[in-house]
Structure 1
Amino acid sequence: MQEHSALLTRFHQKRREQHVWRRRGSSPAAPASLPDDYDLLREILLRLPPQPSSLPRASVVCKLWRAVTTDPKFLQCFRAHHRKPPLLGYFGAAFGDKVEIVFRPTLDHPDRIPPERFSLRGCSRRENYVLGCRHGRVLVDCPAQKEVVVCEPISGGQRRVAVPPEFKNGFHDGAVLCAAGDQGHVHGGCHSCPFKVVLLCMPEEDNRALACLYARYDCGYPSILVGDALYWLDMSNGMLEFDLDGQSISVITGPPMTDDFCHGSIQIIKAEDGVVGLASFSYPSIQIWQRKVNCNGVATWLVCKTVDLHNIIGLPPQLDERDSGMETILGYAEDTNDILIYVHSSVYTVQLKSMQPKKLHETHHVMDYHPFTSFYTPGTHA
């Protein structure tokens, strides 16, 4: 914030100096230590928060600001500067006269996105369900059509992918991710780049997990991308690892949890060191684990921290017996490191590093929530 204020002060000072020189009928020699107005303004605007309203609000200041904030090269630099896109909301089922896939925003006004803006159109029918969200895309399973659909809510685009024949008789899960790997590319800021679909399958006749890149094992949990591998929880509190580069699948043993946490809800996360980790929620505590692999390839699970929810301001006080029993983890946002939890008939996000909570809404329906993160500037996409 101090750096942003200093740049803004320099910008206004330079504008005043140029105004004085114009009144005198001559122009100054540009100081070598200062960039011109346009470059300096770019540096200022790059530091605006990556929320949907930031650039549109800046663009109405004047023609110069509008020229900067709508420049495609600036937009690319803006996303590269922030790297991680914001959490715009999540996709999940809506219960009412009919069950369908809907978008629920998490941001407050003026960044709050109307749910209808991110409608999945023909994919939101009752029989379809979300497999996961990543890099500005939503992967929807359409069992009746024997296909999955990659939806891009911001651009409105959809691409249909047929399910391989050998996967149609088994339970399945899947993941979508951006395939662009060029230098400087920012995931979540692209809406027309190639993508990859990974499908996992557990055939009914045996227990061998299959995977392909186009690239399906229904464990009921969405995948988590950590480094160059996708991870799914299995039924024994371990996990499946799919190496995207080697296109190989392996089974990882989970941590030695106590009975309380073994019977709680578990979520794969990105640990602070960039390695795979686990969050286990057994009310009222959240326990964070990370997996360390030494130079000999021996893996060890370590407890990073255990947090009592009673000590977090913004979450409900201790529950009585009538309210307890349904507390669970509903989802996880990779880019922002937030988990979604269900406590006391309400859904909350909790930032795992700061343990800062935010109440989203009240509901009596417990279901999977699929966080959707992306850079989004209204008016710049179809």
Structure 2
Amino acid sequence: MPRQHVRELWQMDEIVEEILFRLPPDEPGNLLRASLVCKPWCRLLSDHGFRRRYSEFHQAPPMLGFLQSWSTSAEFVPTTEFCPREPDPRHSYSVCDCRHGRVLLRFRDDDKQFLTVWNPMTGSQRVLRVPEYSGMSDWCTSVLCSGSSYNHGDCHLGPFLVVFVSLHEQEGVAKACVYSSEMSNWSSSASLDVGFFEDEIHFTAMPSVLAGDALYFLISRDSNIGILEYDLGKSRLSEIHLVPASTSAIICPIAPILMVAEDGQLGLADLYDFNLSVWWREVGPDEVAVWSQCRVIDLETLLPIGDPEVATDLVGSIEGTGIIFAITDLGTYMIDLKALTSKELSTKLYQREDIAWALFPYLSFYSPQGVVAGASIETGHGNEET
């Protein structure tokens, strides 16, 4: 082929790529239809280099749907045309976490507890046995990619970590260990003396949040709220107390959620009646951290309320944004605290005894390759500590 024709074809591919870059990421059906136009477009859209450049072009991955976790089941609710490839139907799952394009599920089989790291884009699964610690009274777990991507829009095919944090009431300690998909085993555990010998302590239903290089978990101590921090870089557990800067009174929110600002600052939102209070944790030059109340927002001005006697519940947030989620008697809503706007996500109504424990947003850039990729189930028991 003449060199001139090769150059023209290369330039045409560049033009096509620039056009495809501009397809809205929150409308995955457009990417799927574009991949069906011709084989060259399908190869382009399925190429890892294109997916990486597409995510860099759009930066923040869109929310393709969300999962609601109940006491005995989980439900994926699409907010776009995206349809996930379902996990193994032989088990009944509940949701533990959702981050960086993966979902962490739990299930029981023969009285043993297992975790499943599920990729809704491809349908692939990694099954892990829950670490068995003697005297474990409660536990919570999180999933995240182990790469260094700054927007995490295209890391659902790369290596991942699972962080497992457990509480041991009689010993008065918390423990944490990490599963690495690259090593296929659990690390040795880190411990923290939290001294709750006389307290009733457990994890709340709210998911953890990732701020900087640390994961944060909400715990309940005899109706008071605390936070466990796991530093991924130092493999260290610590406890954060909720004490505002202006007073010596401890914050005692009824049903709070954790938040993360765009700059990685840790925050907490609490709802009393319809008054939403937002607190941020600020670390001064002396490395002393204090909580300061940022604002109080009247949700009656943002949400449609059917029966004011029915409580509105906060059920989650999107890390690195000012977006939180709430369930009212009329449905599920996404609230933008910066723009002071709300959007209805689902009109499904629930009996109060069936109210969702938490909402887990599924954020990822859609990949047409995921439609044709074969699903797989892997088993990674890892090492156990008893």
Tell me if structure 1 keeps the 8 A contact 2:164–2:176.
yes
CA distance in 2, matches of 1:164, 1:210: 11
CA distance in 2, matches of 1:332, 1:124: 27
Q: Residue deviations 1:159-178, cap 9 Å, x none?
A: 12222232673311100111
Q: Which residue of 2 aligns with 1:155?
A: 122
Query: 1:335 and 1:85, CA in 2 relative to 1: closer, same or farther beyond 3 A?
Result: farther
Counterpart of 1:90, as a letter, is F
CA distance in 2, matches of 1:270, 1:354: 16
Matches within 5 A, 1:94-113: 99-107=72-80, 111=81, 113=82
Q: Which residue of 2 aligns with 1:9?
A: none
Larger strand percent? 2
Q: Which residue of 2 aligns with 1:366?
A: 355
Counterpart of 2:65, as a letter, is G
Which of 64, 87, 91 in structure 2 is aligned with 1:120? 87
CA distance in 2, matches of 1:354, 1:123: 43
Q: Which residue of 2 aligns with 1:77?
A: 53
Larger helix percent? 1
Q: Which residue of 2 aligns with 1:55?
A: 31
CA distance in 2, matches of 1:135, 1:119: 18
Matches within 5 A, 1:341-356: 341-356=326-341
Count residues in correspondence.
333
Matches within 5 A, 1:1-382: 36-51=11-26, 52-59=28-35, 68-93=44-69, 99-107=72-80, 111=81, 113-114=82-83, 117-122=84-89, 124-125=91-92, 128-143=93-108, 144-166=111-133, 169-181=136-148, 187-214=152-179, 218-235=203-220, 236-256=224-244, 262-312=252-302, 315-317=303-305, 319-320=307-308, 323-324=309-310, 326-334=311-319, 337-359=322-344, 360-361=346-347, 362-364=349-351, 365-368=354-357, 369-378=359-368, 380-381=370-371, 382=373
Q: SS at 1:102's partner residue?
A: strand
Q: Residue deviations 1:179-215, cap 9 Å, x none?
A: 123xx57524233322111101111423211111226
Counterpart of 1:162, as a letter, is R
Mark the runs of 5 or more structure 2 residues left unpaired by the alignment: 180-186, 190-201, 374-386
Counterpart of 1:366, as a letter, is I
Q: Residue deviations 1:225-271, cap 9 Å, x none?
A: 11110001121323111000001011111143999x84442111012
Please provide the CA RMSD for this pair. 3.1
Q: SS at 1:153's partner residue?
A: coil
Counterpart of 1:101, as a letter, is A
CA distance in 1, matches of 2:122, 2:40: 27
Mark the runs of 5 or more structure 1 residues left unpaired by the alignment: 1-26
Q: SS at 1:265's partner residue?
A: coil
Tell me if structure 1 keeps the 8 A contact 2:225–2:253.
no
- Give the deviation of 1:68 after TM superposition: 4.4
> Which structure ranks higher in relative contact order (CA pairs < 8 Å, sequence separation ≥ 6)?
2
Query: 1:157 and 1:204, CA in 2 relative to 1: closer, same or farther beyond 3 A?
Result: same
- Give the deviation of 1:93 after TM superposition: 4.4
CA distance in 2, matches of 1:132, 1:294: 31
**Alignment TM-score, normalising by the size of structure 2:** 0.76
CA distance in 2, matches of 1:255, 1:118: 44
Q: SS at 2:300's partner residue?
A: helix
Larger radius of gyration: 1
Task: Determine what percentage of the aligned residue pairs are the same residue.
Answer: 33
**Alignment TM-score, normalising by the size of structure 1:** 0.76
CA distance in 2, matches of 1:122, 1:66: 30
